[in-house]
Structure 1
Amino acid sequence: MASGKKALLATVMAASVAGMPHLLWAPAYADDYADLLDVLRAKGSLTRHEYDTLLAKHVHHAALAAEPHATHAVRGATSGTRTAVAHAGHGAQAGYEPGIRFDAGAEANDVSLRAEDAATRAEASARSAQEAANALNSGNFVRVAKYVPGKGLTFKAGPIDINLSGFVNGFYTYNSPAGGRPIAGGVSSGSSGFDSSAVRNGLLPAGFVLKMNTVQQGMDISAVLGMYPGLDNAKPAAFNANSGGSPVGLGTAGIDLRQVYMTFGNKDMGTFKIGRDLALFASDAIMNDATLLSVGSTGSNSAPGNTSLGRIGVGYVYADWIPQISYTSPKLGGFQGSVGIFQPLDEFGYADATNPTAAKTPSQYSAGASQHSSPMVQGRAVYDFSVSDLQVHIWASFLIQHMQGLNSTRPDGSTLLGEDQHHGAMVEAGDIGTKLTYGPLEGVAYYYRGSGLGTTGLFFDGVAANGRKRSSEGYYVQGAYHITKKFRLVGSYGVSNLYLAGGENTAAESALGSAGLVRRNQSEVGAAYYQMTDWLTVIGEYSHTSSAAHGGGKESDNTASGGVMLMF
């Protein structure tokens, strides 16, 4: 190949001189420079276009250098041309690459060829990209989406996104009772009479949430399963895995399967949800409560259950996880609404269940009900907007449920509800709250009121033993300051009040006496949160909790907690 190129070089030089008879010609064969170009081309260091361009320039310069020998070139022009042609023919037979030209149109032809080649390559690349996309969507490939701290791991299997997220926490908690008398329905442990230590969960247990999402016929469809195990031994009772614990050897932790639901819809039509999930009423209250990531009021610290109370019962009524069929509207200028029907819950005598003197009490504090011909109805509305650098989140929600078949009996089995008394009640409740964020400052204010709603949990002591509804209300205020991006201080104060129904009084000897029934639960909380990494947050907290009864009894306690929350 090299000899053919050298011969071609000689041919071009000869032809150039033959066209100019006034120049002398001296035979010019390929020199060391041409040899170097051949070697670089053979090794792939030069493209064909680069090789042709450099060789053409070299030939041009060689022709200019040959002008002093024009006289000799004229004499040998004829024979030189024949020799060059012969060399060219030999070079072609020796395998010189076809298609290389050094005429005036060579560069234009090469540009055309390169453009055609680029178009062919682009078409092939597009085909390859489409084939790759089809292969990824076929489900034969599993890939991992970019990780976002706190949003879990997302695996993409064809058209399905599989997300695994969760959290784990653990706290050392020291509770010191400040004394007092036991309060039926109170959340303070002040009357326990002894200090207690525990290694336990905070308001949140551990959590592992599996979500599967896909898009079919223009609808976003998802399925969610949430598993929430605790650290301490479970002791099944009225509240299942959330009952008080059992610190006895050979025990096992409880698993709270509180989430299992599906959704379908899109941003234009809204979203439907069917299954078990957090209810609408009071959901924003707990989701904006800082103690969600810490301990707050312990409830029981000597035998801890899956969770502490946080601010449940001392600022709001627990929203709970309830089977539902609900609908959430699209967002319209920051506004979004939700409404749904929910599994109706029983009216429950929490004060009777927690009354330490129940065997001596001549009457029952609260009525019960377990008949439901209609569902519970809940609704919620939120509005988000900003004013300059101030971010505002406002919410309001409501709850309605008809209680039927109310019953109330004395310890001896006799009934407290006669035929002429109320055997049904319509429970109603509403709340409103706001969260303000301005730079490093955050503030939350919340208020609720209910008729028959009760306190601490939904329908706990909401109806008196005589069948009449009790009113209740509560609130909490919370402030937070980010000293640095990772370090935050929080302080909060909250109260839950339960009022007597008509016909009740505080006389202990009365058949409807409610002297020991809780009137007020309240707490003050101060906490520090330091985000050590994207996953780990270190938490230190102090809380003071107190309960007061309608008859004047009181109890209070103090709790110090320290621990770590991991979220992924």
Structure 2
Amino acid sequence: MASGGASLAYVDEAWADDYSELLDILKAKGSLTQGEYRGLLAHHLQHVHEAATSAARTQQYVPAARHMSTTAAHAPMRTAMGQAVQPPGQIEIGGNGMDPDYVLAQAQQAAANAQASAASAESTWLAAQHSIGLGGGMSLVRMEKYVPGKGLTFKAGPIDINLSGFINGFYTYNSPAGGMPVAGGVSTGASGFDSSALRNGLLPAGLILKLSTTQNGIDLAAVMGMYPGINNAKNGAFNANTGGSPVGLGTAGIDFRQVYVTAGNKKWGTFKIGRDLGIFGGDAILDDATLLSVGSTGSNSAPGNTSLGRIGVGYVYADWIPQISYQSPTIKGFQGTIGILQPLDEFDFSGADANGNAYSAVSTQHSSPMLQGKVTYDFKIGGLSARIWASFLTQHQQDLTVSRTMTNSVALQRWNSSAPYYLNSATTSAVPVVPGEKHGVTAEAGEIGTKLTYGPAQFVGYYYRGSGLGTTGLFFDGVASNGRKRASEGYYVQMMYNFTKKFKLVGSYGVSNLYQASGENDPDLVRRNESEVGAAYYKMTDWLNLVAEYAHTTSDAHGPYKESDNSASGGMILLF
């Protein structure tokens, strides 16, 4: 409009305010995604624009009796927060003075704009809370950046929720090479029949939930791990890990292996209570390449939740055991772990001879817990990364008994009475290994291992020795029927080479030996289980790995008996 009149130029642009700065901060902290940020900001700016437009329409023209200097007319005004506010309009009037009415109107407009912005911020934030379900004072839930193999992590306020797991399946063809059955052997050579199976490998499937947070300077975590198989389950001594039942209308079993909590920090170390992998033998199985494949089948005609991998042919299974343990902070590469664990029974894994007499003693009484401990040392020398570990196990086994078959020609003294009695027919009874007194032993074991990585190559070497430890599983055949401890030892070596980032080959060899106790003569009892394994792994995606494997397993008795088998497996394992 011409000079001497009045003109208003309304501005559509919305300037920065407290709410938009809040959105910037939330986006920078990762609490808002890019899409959420843009949506909330656009919604807010729309409210600001509508409020400014409504206020501008109520402005009145000021009489053209005085004029403002061009500089004063265009000078930006400031809110109480010190932020620039574009005048809703500008006016040209005659004279050299400032119109008080105009100044008052501008101040009133600035206050109205600030009030409208605050109201808009509040209404927009409440609308955003309602739209994404954050009413009632709840916090934003957001997802951390995904790292392959680390699972999915969600942050709900101060709590991290992590979901991880794996699923695998293999076709395995097992061909027995013949021989005679070996008591306590892991080979299927004496079965006489080839077998095909669609099965899990050494790992079943797994879904692990971990909740973690920090309270009063203490890092807390709760972990629950469910491990279902794909084959039918069958009731037995090993529960879900008993050999399967390939019969119609069967169902898979769930092995709820992990249920534990941890509390501690990097300065003072961490305590754990609950059910988790044992300390002794834990590194041996976690570094075993057959963890991602099949290895020795154990049973292929009726597969259970898992195969054996290298269990019993290089190491004794660490198992998942209730425990209270403490892990120290890492100091110059060293870390220690000590724990008390649920004591386990001595178990007669090898069974009985032709006369029905057990090869091994058993126990079910425990007045003290199992004790396990470990020390690890991690270091680097140039391009070489290395870990060395050593651990021990000890447990007292009480009230050992043995299964004996008696006939009517044998007189049996009652152990709790002085009066003898005669059996009218054959029967099997559990009797003390030393008649007339309770007998116990202390099982002991130690291990040492190393894992070396240099460029694309990796080497694992492991050795264990025990007295009363047994073979294959903890305290399996660890004590002879005469109540004396058997010695056992074993080892495995493994080489892995990554030819590319996606393709690698693995070769391994392992042995587990079980020696007879003093005064024992059981020629059918297993003396050695051994296997050779070769496998190829191809990483098709961050999640999916293809696996092809060959394994040869042999079991030898203390006498002339021997059996062996060959198996070929192909399948895939998905880890997320």
TM-score, structure 1 normalization: 0.77
Whether 1:433 aligns to 2:433 is no
Q: Of 357, 367, 382, which residue of structure 2 is paired with 1:373?
A: 367
Q: Distance in 2 between matches of 1:136 and 1:333?
A: 48
Whether 1:465 aligns to 2:461 is no
Whether 1:479 aligns to 2:495 is yes
Call closer, same or farther: CA 1:43–1:520 in 2, change over 3 Å. same
Conservation of the 8 A alpha-carbon contact between 1:137 and 1:158: no
Equivalent residue runs for 1:301-450 within 5 Å: 301-352=300-351, 358=353, 360-361=354-355, 363-412=357-406, 413=428, 415=431, 417-419=433-435, 423-450=439-466
Whether 1:226 aligns to 2:236 is no
Instruction: Report what 2:412 is aligned to.
Output: none
Call closer, same or farther: CA 1:118–1:368 in 2, change over 3 Å. farther
Equivalent residue runs for 1:109-258 within 5 Å: 116-117=82-83, 138-258=137-257
What is the identity, as a one-letter code, of the residue corresponding to 1:373? S
Call closer, same or farther: CA 1:481–1:515 in 2, change over 3 Å. same
Deviation at 1:363, TM superposition (A): 2.9
Deviation at 1:408, TM superposition (A): 1.3
**Aligned-partner SS, 2:350:** helix
Q: Of 553, 557, 563, which residue of structure 2 is paired with 1:549?
A: 557
Q: Distance in 2 between matches of 1:302 and 1:46?
A: 74
Equivalent residue runs for 1:469-548 within 5 Å: 469-504=485-520, 513-548=521-556
Deviation at 1:515, TM superposition (A): 0.7
Conservation of the 8 A alpha-carbon contact between 2:399 and 2:438: no
Call closer, same or farther: CA 1:466–1:118 in 2, change over 3 Å. farther
Instruction: Report what 1:66 is aligned to.
Output: none
Call closer, same or farther: CA 1:136–1:483 in 2, change over 3 Å. farther
Deviation at 1:143, TM superposition (A): 2.1
Instruction: Report what 2:70 is aligned to.
Output: 102
Q: Distance in 2 between matches of 1:154 and 1:374?
A: 40
Conservation of the 8 A alpha-carbon contact between 1:422 and 1:468: no
Equivalent residue runs for 1:249-288 within 5 Å: 249-288=248-287
Q: Deviations over 1:207-238 (max 9, x none)?
A: 01111112211111111111111111111101
Q: Distance in 1 between matches of 2:458 and 2:147?
A: 24
What is the identity, as a one-letter code, of the residue corresponding to 2:444? E
Q: Distance in 1 between matches of 2:542 and 2:219?
A: 29
Equivalenced residues, count: 473
Residue segments in structure 2 that go unaligned for 5+ positions in a row: 16-59, 86-109, 407-427
Q: Distance in 1 between matches of 2:443 and 2:137?
A: 52
Q: Distance in 1 between matches of 2:503 and 2:438?
A: 54
**Aligned-partner SS, 1:408:** strand
Call closer, same or farther: CA 1:416–1:488 in 2, change over 3 Å. same
Instruction: Report what 1:564 is aligned to.
Output: 572
Call closer, same or farther: CA 1:223–1:46 in 2, change over 3 Å. closer
Call closer, same or farther: CA 1:524–1:421 in 2, change over 3 Å. farther
Call closer, same or farther: CA 1:138–1:449 in 2, change over 3 Å. farther
Deviation at 1:566, TM superposition (A): 0.7
Deviation at 1:361, TM superposition (A): 3.0
What is the identity, as a one-letter code, of the residue corresponding to 2:490? G
Call closer, same or farther: CA 1:374–1:113 in 2, change over 3 Å. closer
**Aligned-partner SS, 1:146:** coil
Q: Distance in 2 between matches of 1:392 and 1:261?
A: 29
What is the identity, as a one-letter code, of the residue corresponding to 1:276? R
Instruction: Report what 1:452 is aligned to.
Output: 468
Conservation of the 8 A alpha-carbon contact between 1:213 and 1:221: yes
Conservation of the 8 A alpha-carbon contact between 1:288 and 1:444: yes
Residue segments in structure 1 that go unaligned for 5+ positions in a row: 12-37, 48-91, 505-512
Q: Deviations over 1:2-61 (max 9, x none)?
A: x2xx417x99xxxxxxxxxxxxxxxxxxxxxxxxxx99x6565899xxxxxxxxxxxxxx
Call closer, same or farther: CA 1:93–1:424 in 2, change over 3 Å. closer
Q: Distance in 2 between matches of 1:152 and 1:46?
A: 42
**Aligned-partner SS, 2:302:** coil
Greater CA deviation, 152-161 or 377-386? 152-161
Conservation of the 8 A alpha-carbon contact between 1:177 and 1:192: yes
Identity, % of aligned positions: 64
Deviation at 1:552, TM superposition (A): 2.2
Going by fraction, where is helix more abundant, 1 or 2? 1
Call closer, same or farther: CA 1:262–1:113 in 2, change over 3 Å. closer
Q: Distance in 2 between matches of 1:463 and 1:46?
A: 84
Conservation of the 8 A alpha-carbon contact between 2:78 and 2:84: no
What is the identity, as a one-letter code, of the residue corresponding to 1:350? F
Deviation at 1:95, TM superposition (A): 7.7
**Aligned-partner SS, 2:323:** strand
Which protein has the larger Cα radius of gyration, Structure 1 or Structure 2? 1
Q: Distance in 2 between matches of 1:155 and 1:140?
A: 12
Call closer, same or farther: CA 1:113–1:303 in 2, change over 3 Å. closer
Q: Distance in 2 between matches of 1:296 and 1:176?
A: 14
Q: Distance in 2 between matches of 1:563 and 1:231?
A: 13
Deviation at 1:138, TM superposition (A): 5.0
Conservation of the 8 A alpha-carbon contact between 1:463 and 1:470: yes
Q: Distance in 2 between matches of 1:100 and 1:425?
A: 105
Q: Deviations over 1:486-505 (max 9, x none)?
A: 1111000000000011111x
Conservation of the 8 A alpha-carbon contact between 2:513 and 2:528: yes
CA RMSD after TM alignment = 3.2
